[in-house]
Amino acid sequence: MSNMAMFSLEKNHFALFGLAPAYRLDLTQLEQSYRDIQAQVHPDKHAHLGEVERRLAMQWSTHANEAYQTLRQPLARARYLLQLNGAESDENSNTAMSPAFLMEQMEWREAIGDAKAAEALADLEHLAGRLRAEIRQREEKLQQALDVERDFAAAAEQVRELKFMEKLREEIHFALEALEN
């Protein structure tokens, strides 16, 4: 179990995988680091050891899984970076959005509703493509706010807006699935 002695459950998720804390990550490096850690701490590898060592291996495996899941998902990674920097996205309590953003959301919902009502698969696919591009633009703004400007208030606002965009993406996904079935 000596190879697990080099790990610390106190490390933040980025340090765990040997990465600099940043929104823009090398996802290939993240995955490789995750696999390397799992190869060392996976509970099956330590099944022959005592109860304490097996429990420690399970804790490490769980910690690595949670850290990996957090860092591989852009919104979860942004929330975690905000938390590391003493900021929060306040998605559940801060619902203030700019009037322009709210109007844009209403337009998206109306377009999705119209496409669903008309059972227009091509329109939904077009909306999905537009939404992907919009999400990429907002993720670029989020990366700029977190990694370059270190403007955590602006980053928190981008996270809140992206949460709305993710809901739109899900709505389009479910509508597409329903039409394709």
Averaged pLDDT of the chain: 90
- For 69, other C-beta atoms within 10 Å of its C-beta total 12
Q: Is the model's pLDDT at 2 over the cut of 70?
A: no
Q: Is the model's pLDDT at 127 over the cut of 60?
A: yes
Euclidean distance between CA atoms 59 and 9, whole angstroms: 9
Q: Is the model's pLDDT at 3 over the cut of 60?
A: no
The predicted structure's pLDDT at residue 85:
94
Euclidean distance between CA atoms 159 and 149, whole angstroms: 15
Asked whether this chain's domains 2-72 and 99-180 adopt the same fold, the reply is: no
Model pLDDT for residues 145-162, shown as the tens digit of each residue: 999 999 999 999 999 999
> In terms of C-beta density within 10 A (0-12 exposed, 13-18 middle, 19 or more buried), how is residue 79 classed?
buried
Spell out the CATH class of 99-180.
mainly alpha
Q: Is the model's pLDDT at 87 over the cut of 80?
A: yes
Model pLDDT for residues 30-85, shown as the tens digit of each residue: 999 999 998 888 767 777 778 888 888 888 889 999 999 999 999 999 999 999 99
Q: Domain residue spans in the chain?
A: 2-72, 99-180
Amino acid making up residue 80: Y
Spell out the CATH class of 2-72.
mainly alpha
